[in-house]
Every structure is written in C-alpha cells, then in structure tokens.
Amino acid sequence: MSGPAVIAPVVAPGETAQSLTERICAVTLREGARPWTPLWWWAAFAVSLGLLGIGVIAVGWLFYAGLGIWGIDWPVVWGLDILNYVWWIAIASGGTFISALFFLLGVEWRTALNRLAESLTLCAALCAAIFPILHLGRPWFFYWLFPYPNTMGLWAQFRSPLVWDFFAILTYVLASILFWYFGLLPDLATLRDRAQGQGRRVFYGVLALGFRGSGRQWRHYRSVYAVMAALMAPLVVSVHSIVGMDFAGSAATGWHSTQFPPFFVFGAALSGFAVVLLAILPLRSLLGLHAYVTERHIDVLGRLFLTSSLCVGYAYVMDAFSTFYGPDEADRTMFLMRVFGLYAPVYWGTILLNIVFPQLLWWRSVRLTQPLVWLIGLGVLVGMWLERFQIIVTSLARTQLPSAWGHYTPTIWEWSLLFGTIGLFLTTFLLIVRLMPVVAMAEMRAMLRGPA
C-alpha cells in the first residue's frame, strides 16, 4: 500500500560536519543573533512547572495523610499507582530500543534520533521509579528493598517478581543514565570548546570531564559504547518481561499467563515509539532540525509504530484466545466483564486507540502527514494507559470469589499524581532540550564522513 519508494535521505544534501556542529551548538548555546530562549520553551516550561507543582502537592499530602487518600481498597489493591508505573516504564523503552537495538543493527537513521530518544527514556524512567516507592505506604522505608546487612536479620524475598522488578528498575535507571551520559561526553566537550561565556565553559567543561578527543580516548570510547549498547538491548527486554511477571506471578484472574512477558515488551515498544514521535515531530520544527530529522526518519518511525501495534494486536488476540481455550471459569467471567461490563469503554478504547487507528499507518501518505501521526501517537499513549487500567483494575475487581468482587474509582489525589508526573517528565525533558545538545554530534560527524 506504500506509494512508489522515493526514499528521502537520512541527512539533507549539502550538510557537513561544520554546518552540523554550528547548527546544533546554536540550538543549545544560543550565542548568535538570537541569544534568548524561545517563547515556546518558556510557555511549555511554565505549563510543565504548573503540573509538577500539582504533583508536589499530591505527594506532600500523601506523605502527610497516608495511602487512605487514594481510591485503592480491597479487592482492587493496585490502582493508578501501579498503572502509572507500568505506563511510564513502557514509555521509557522507546529510547533504549532506538538507541541500543538499532545501534547494534547499524542503521543510519538512528543517529539523529538517539539523543532525544534516550533523553525521553531518562525522563520517563524517572517518573516510573517514583510510583513503586510512593505506593509502599511507608515510603521512608524504601531502602528495605536493598539487600543490606541489617539488625532485623531480614532479606528481600528473592523468589518474588516484585523484588526482581526492584533490581530491574534499579539497573535500568542507572544504566540508562550512564549510557546517556557516556554518549554525551564528546558533545559536551564540543560545547565547552565552542561556548563564549566563562560560566558556560565551566559548566560544560566540568560535565565533559576533560574529554578532548584524543586517539586514546576514542579507542576506548568506541569499545565501551558498543558493549553498553549490546547490554542495553537485552536489558530493556528483561525489564519489561519482569514487569509482565509482576502480574503473571500472581494467581489473579487474567494475570496468570505465560504470554505476559512478551505482551509487555510489545506494549512497551508501542508506547516507546509513540512518545518518540510525539516529541520529535514538534521539536523538528521548533529546533530547526529538518536537515537531520528528515521524512525518512518519520517514515521509519511510522513503520516501527505500526509493527509494534500489530504485535500488541496479536497479544490481545492471544489474551482472548487463551482465556476461552483455557479451563478457568473465573477467567472467562472476568474477561466478559472486561468486554461488556462496567469497564467496557476502557477495553474498547484500548482496542480503538492501540490497534485500529494505527492501521492508518499502512499508507505512506498518512505516515508523512505529521499532524495525523502525532494524533495517532497521542491516542496510543492514552490507549496504553487504558490497557493498563483494564489489566490491573478489571482483573482485581473480578476475583475468583464472587463475594469479593468490587470496583475502583480513582480519587483526585491519584489523578493529580498522574498529572504531576507528566509535569515532572516535561520539566526534565525541556531542561535537557534546552541545556544539552539535541543531536549526537560526534556520531553524526562520523556518519557524514561516510562509511568507516
């Protein structure tokens, strides 16, 4: 269904290492003709800070009043806290898939996207990491999750997927930060040498740690970067598999399924690619990146987006199939309630937003119509949130025992926490976009030079 294959170049013709360095440094340093930070940035930052403020109030009140302010109760003991955690950690995956997996595959379109994608990963992983701690009830004891010698003589329960998840998130957040920062070192050095003001030189100079591009530094840099990428790719798959096992390890209806680990990896890829598109499409114009983020990138991301949507569709079909093929009456009751009951709009919203609308991306003309792609991406983020709602809430609301059935209504404190983390995500991302080089310059230079 794609039109005749007119493949746009990965970099606009006429771009050189010189023009790239100038253009990207100008976005960050703003020392040329337009030294001020653009209005759109301040406007977005103000909105983000407002949302973040709401989140701070929500957390403050939670710490003061306790978990009772949330709508979770028996039998729906996991609500928006875990839902938002799973949603954010899935959003974080996109950067790692693009940056690590496609580095290993050696695709050239990855180079212009990896810095922004990795930054999105970092911000989303930060938001995700907050929720498991907040939902502990006594968050000041979160360090009990660490295996450390303690006077109580206690250890974490290493046979529990929830403890696996703690290690997975810990590793994922730390490794993502290190991978991102390691990739930044050469570009920070470029900014250090390019900056005019003393304060900026010191800022970027300290962050660059004295990277000077010597032969010795590059020789080790290349090896470490490649191995890190090779580790990050299976790491992201393991993290989402373990998130799936958080559910599959329980005997709750609808959760106890061996397909959950890959199901969650597919969902992660879908929301990851969606958020990369959501960020890239406006930033491409706002930061003037047309020369480096071309139609080719948008086309490729659209194809990946469609592919992951098909994978998620397969998982939904298998979920329904194994429920009705399997022996468990309670599973079937729960599933019918999911499809036709109180929460049916959530289920059908999921199907519509995650599976039906993304099918438009079969057409190349749709993939290149940016406002439409942006809307489909936004729809998928909402759809993935709804998917987690139906997985978590409907399963817990219809347990095996009909006498224990119940329902769940989130309170304003849960909603405000969700919007607070959206504020945290946007605030940190906007700061990164403003202060860090948005395109990996050193890698782009090597690509512009041609095949090594």
Partner 1 sequence: MIVAAFATEAAMREAAAEIRRGDPGGVETYMAMEPGEAQGGAEGGSVLPAVMLCGGVAGGLGGFLMQAYATTISYPQNIGGRPDLSWPAYIPTTFELAVLGAVVAGMAGFLVLAGMPRLYDPVDLAEGMRAAMLGGYVLVARPADAARARQVLSRHAAIGIEDVAE
Using CB under 8 A as the criterion, which residues of the chain lie in contact with partner 1 when the complex forms?
17-18, 21, 147, 153-159, 161, 163-164, 167-168, 170-171, 174-175, 178-179, 182, 186, 189-190, 192-194, 205-206, 209-224, 226-228, 231, 234-235, 238, 242, 245, 441-443, 445-446, 449-452
Evaluate the CA torsion angle 38, 43, 44, 46 in order and state its sign.
Answer: positive
Q: Closest separation between CB of residue 182 and partner 1, Å?
A: 6
Q: Closest separation between CB of residue 57 and partner 1, Å?
A: 34
* Residue 5: both structure tokens together: 């294959």
Q: Closest separation between CB of residue 149 and partner 1, Å?
A: 9
Q: Are the beta carbons of 296 and 9 closer than 8 angstroms?
A: yes
Nearer to partner 1, 60 or 234 (CB): 234
By three-state DSSP, how is residue 319 classified? helix
Q: Closest separation between CB of residue 197 and partner 1, Å?
A: 15
Could you report how far apart the first and last alpha carbons of the chain are, in Å?
A: 35
* Residue 205: both structure tokens together: 């100079």
Q: Are the beta carbons of 75 and 404 closer than 8 angstroms?
A: yes
Nearer to partner 1, 221 or 273 (CB): 221
Evaluate the CA torsion angle 367, 279, 172, 212 in order and state its sign.
Answer: positive
By three-state DSSP, how is residue 89 classified? helix
Nearer to partner 1, 147 or 406 (CB): 147
Q: Closest separation between CB of residue 251 and partner 1, Å?
A: 11
Nearer to partner 1, 46 or 178 (CB): 178
Question: Distance between CA 91 and CA 121 in Å, rounded?
Answer: 7
Q: Closest separation between CB of residue 177 and partner 1, Å?
A: 10
Nearer to partner 1, 160 or 359 (CB): 160
Question: Distance between CA 18 and CA 379 in Å, rounded?
Answer: 39
Nearer to partner 1, 373 or 436 (CB): 436
Q: To which residue do tokens 């004891």 refer? A: 141
